[in-house]
Structure 1
Amino acid sequence: MLVAVIVGCEVAFWVVLLAGLIARYPLRRPRLGAALLLAVPAVDLVLLAATTIDLRRGGTATAAHGLAAAYLGFSVAFGHSMVRWADQRFAHRFAGGPPPQRPPRYGLARTRHEWREWGKGMLGWAVACAVLLGCIALVGDDERTAELWAWIWRLSLVMAAWLVFWPLAYTVFPKRAPRDG
């Protein structure tokens, strides 16, 4: 059941985002578009409520509960940049805006970009872990929440790997622009 709510929230995120951008640009209703875009975080509240209700009713934490917490955390951390990413593309396509910005490809600018993205990932990790710890405290039963502890370790491992393979790698071995000639 919770997996269906997670999938529904992911679909709802993109539907509300798309509706906001369509209202803003092709329909030329910027206030309606802004209102719809402000509603995007409400999708996260639905998922948080569903997860909490399921656990409060006596459910045992499963991978779906951990996934819901991870989704919430990373949605909080990356949601704004995802909206900005989509907005740039819609503005360019439907409103004559400038071409979308691309991340830097080389040098110190690329290294800074990788550190910034990892920092957003750490914010997502922190929010997800706070949700997981909140659910663990809410349930108060180690047997029913073992999976939530496992998710904290999984997310920590992912963040450590991300640190090593991207920001640290770009810091130690910065990607250089190809030489002409």
Structure 2
Amino acid sequence: ISDVFEKFENFTESLSQVVDLDIMPGETDFSNSFLPQQPFNTCLFPSLRDKQRSSVNLVTNPHQFELEGFTFLGTSGQNIKDILLNSECLNTSADDNTKCLEKIKHTMEIRHLCPTAPDTLRTYPMTESDPFVVAPSPEKAQLLLEHDDMDTSMCQYKDFHTQPP
């Protein structure tokens, strides 16, 4: 395992000299399993920690950031996988892929990243607020959805902030 981490650190080190990196944990990574997942511990990447690169950020899952005036929101997919496990989209034929993609779009339309939590998706208990509620976006928001073995779709919401949550 140490060889894998060393190769990853070397790759990250060279890439971070050119572009800022946000490293987000996934379902099978060395992180907690409950959403929102906490950032990787810096002890996993001693070389990056020692060099204290400001261009490398260990972030939570889900993670939101802004780039050139656009807001991006990403997850590693546990939320979508759980929706698919609890829906009729278990078959992966072309017609079913379209249905699954519609369900992914639906999470943005209802403005909730984890609609199956906490029933079937492990999440921390929250008493003050729900961290998976998606805040209203600017007047025009575009969403590009892409998934392995699925179609790609672009949907555009005009006056997104005026639609009911």
Q: Same fold (TM over 0.5)?
A: no
Larger Rg: 1
Q: Which structure has the highest helix share of the two?
A: 1
Q: Which structure has the highest strand share of the two?
A: 2
Category of TM-score, reference length = shorter chain: 0.3 to 0.5
- Give the TM-score, by structure 2 length: 0.32
- Give the TM-score, by structure 1 length: 0.30
